[in-house]
Chains A and B, each alone.
Chain A
Amino acid sequence: KAGVTQTPRYLIKTRGQQVTLSCSPISGHRSVSWYQQTPGQGLQFLFEYFSETQRNKGNFPGRFSGRQFSNSRSEMNVSTLELGDSALYLCASSSYPQGAGSTDTQYFGPGTRLTVL
């Protein structure tokens, strides 16, 4: 099976712009989670989508949003970019063999490196 893919791998934006990141989960996986990784804050949970519904949300401002499509692909959007949004954004997928609400192994993509100038 192909792994989790994220596009683009690298992005450079300027303050005030918006950006959309894409994530394609492993085939058959229905859950997609997003994480922000920075040297100062480490790995922080953004949100999780399951069957096109946001199920969990981390402590990030409303500028960070996401969605999931019927084929389980997910996008993350950040509006009005700030310098502090520069980070590696990681997407992870899992299969949920035990159904919604269960916790399962997450498989991570390589990430999108976002630089805000």
Chain B
Amino acid sequence: AQSVTQLGSHVSVSEGALVLLRCNYSSSVPPYLFWYVQYPNQGLQLLLKYTSAATLVKGINGFEAEFKKSETSFHLTKPSAHMSDAAEYFCAVSRPGTGNQFYFGTGTSLTVIP
């Protein structure tokens, strides 16, 4: 079975500081991994995805994530936080070949302090 754990339901960073949002997964087979962002009263927007190609994945808005199989992690980072990054972030895992049944983490709310 697939599952995702996001450590830290709330993360606060200062504007310009490093953003690090943690995601650990559990999967019986090499998974596909995704990061989505959700702004208030909106749906989810894809930030980036890992589908067994390069382990360092670059996404939109300056975000990137690194797939580390040995640590079963897929942490999301951004070198310099911007006020507009304040949102809810979700990590998701799916099992290739089984369709689009995504398992989401519980989310991390990012606050950016001016």
Q: Which residues of A contact B114 (CB under 8 A)?
A: none
Known contacts A58-B101, A103-B97: A42-B107 contact under CB 8 Å: yes
Interface flags for A69-109 (1: CB within 8 Å of B; 0: not) read: 00000000000000000000010101000001111111111
Closest to B97 in A: A101
Q: Which residues of A contact B46 (CB under 8 A)?
A: 105-107
Q: Is B22 an interface residue (CB 8 A)?
A: no
| Complex alpha-carbon distance, A101 and B36, angstroms | 22
Give A44 Cβ to nearest chain B Cβ, in Å.
Answer: 8
Give A116 Cβ to nearest chain B Cβ, in Å.
Answer: 19
- What size tier do the contact residues of chain B reach? 20 to 34
Closest to A42 in B: B106
| Complex alpha-carbon distance, A110 and B102, angstroms | 18
Stretch at the interface among B13-21, B37-45, B61-69, B70-78: B37-45
**Contact residues of A: prevailing secondary structure:** strand
Q: Which residues of A contact B98 (CB under 8 A)?
A: 56, 101, 103
Contact among B32, B43, B45, B104 for A111, CB-based, below 8 A: B43
| Complex alpha-carbon distance, A40 and B7, angstroms | 16
| Complex alpha-carbon distance, A111 and B38, angstroms | 11
Does A108 lie within 8 Å of B45, measured CB to CB? yes
Does B43 lie within 8 Å of A109, measured CB to CB? yes
Q: Which residues of A contact B44 (CB under 8 A)?
A: 90, 92, 108
Does A102 lie within 8 Å of B49, measured CB to CB? no
Q: Is B28 an interface residue (CB 8 A)?
A: no
Does A103 lie within 8 Å of B94, measured CB to CB? yes
Q: List 29 A-B contacts (CB under 8 A).
A: A33-B102, A35-B102, A35-B104, A42-B104, A42-B107, A43-B104, A45-B103, A48-B100, A55-B99, A56-B99, A90-B44, A92-B44, A101-B98, A101-B99, A103-B32, A103-B94, A103-B95, A103-B96, A103-B97, A103-B98, A103-B99, A105-B49, A106-B46, A107-B46, A108-B36, A108-B43, A108-B44, A110-B42, A110-B43
Residue numbers of A with Cβ under 8 A of B are 4, 31, 33, 35, 42-45, 48, 50, 55-56, 58, 90, 92, 94, 100-111
| 3 smallest beta-carbon distances between A and B, as pairs | A108-B43, A43-B104, A108-B44
